[in-house]
Amino acid sequence: MSRSALLNIDTQQSFFHREYWQEDDFPAFQQAISQLISGCQDLKIPVVDIFHVDDEGPFSLASGYVKAMPFLQHHADVAFQKHVHNAFTDTGLDLWLRQRDINHLIICGIRTEQCCETTTRVASDLGYRVSFVSEAMLTFPMRWKGVTLDTQTLRHRTETVLAGRFAQIQTVAECLESLS
């Protein structure tokens, strides 16, 4: 039998203060992640908030921005701070999950191809079954070697490399239906 937890990764005010922040996909993200969190809470699935912390800048504790984005109204069952791209290294998350016999993780949050993907890969390697709900994730265009990847391309690339290897890719509706 599967016992699930929702990992809400880095949905924090720090991002509002980054040069790449943009509002384009933000309304759809707010709606999707709010629906996923609410649906999980209705099903008594624990919600775990993960916050990224750096030594300096908008992700530092001193900035005052390492807190949930204002639209989030849930009460997390527990919160962890991370200093790397995955939610497991040096956080105590794995121990917390195993003490509760949780073997299925639902991933949502910010940035699709960075901390959400990295956490998914590590979770899979640790033996967790993972639902990757990219509809409830947000990212921003990235540029390298003169080529810009838009958010849809980044999402598609991330889903492609994770699907069937590290995670099951689901929409919010599919995820919530599979949990009922």
Residue-wise pLDDT for 100-112, tens only, equals 999 999 999 999 9
Quickly count: other Cβ atoms within 10 Å of residue 160's Cβ.
11
pTM: 0.96
Which residues make Cβ contacts (< 8 Å) with residue 126, sequence separation at least 6?
88, 94
One DSSP character per residue, 73-88 reads ----SEEEEESSSSSS
CATH code at position 45: 3.40.50.850
Q: E-strand spans in 18-65?
A: 47-52
Handedness of CA 102, 108, 113, 115 (dihedral sign): negative
How many domains does the structure of the chain reveal?
A: 1
| 6 contacts 108 by C-beta, under 8 angstroms | yes
Task: Provide the residue count of the chain.
Answer: 180
Percentage of the residues of the chain whose pLDDT score is greater than 70 = 99
Average pLDDT over residues 106-126: 98
Confidence check: pLDDT of 98 > 80: yes
Burial of 89 (0-12, 13-18, 19+ CB in 10 A): middle
Give percent helix, percent strand, percent coil of the chain, each to the nearest 5.
Answer: 40, 25, 35
Given a cut of 70, whether residue 1 has pLDDT beyond it is no
Token pair, residue 56, equals 């300096």
64, pLDDT greater than 70 = yes
| Peptide bond between residue 111 and the one before it cis (omega within 30 degrees of 0) | yes
Domain residues for the domain of 100 are 4-178
What pLDDT sits at residue 2?
66
Chain center to CA of 68: 13
Phi first, then psi: what are they for 15, rounded to 5°?
Answer: -65, -30
User: What is the chain's Cα-based Rg?
Assistant: 15
The span from the CA of 139 to the CA of 132, in Å, is 14
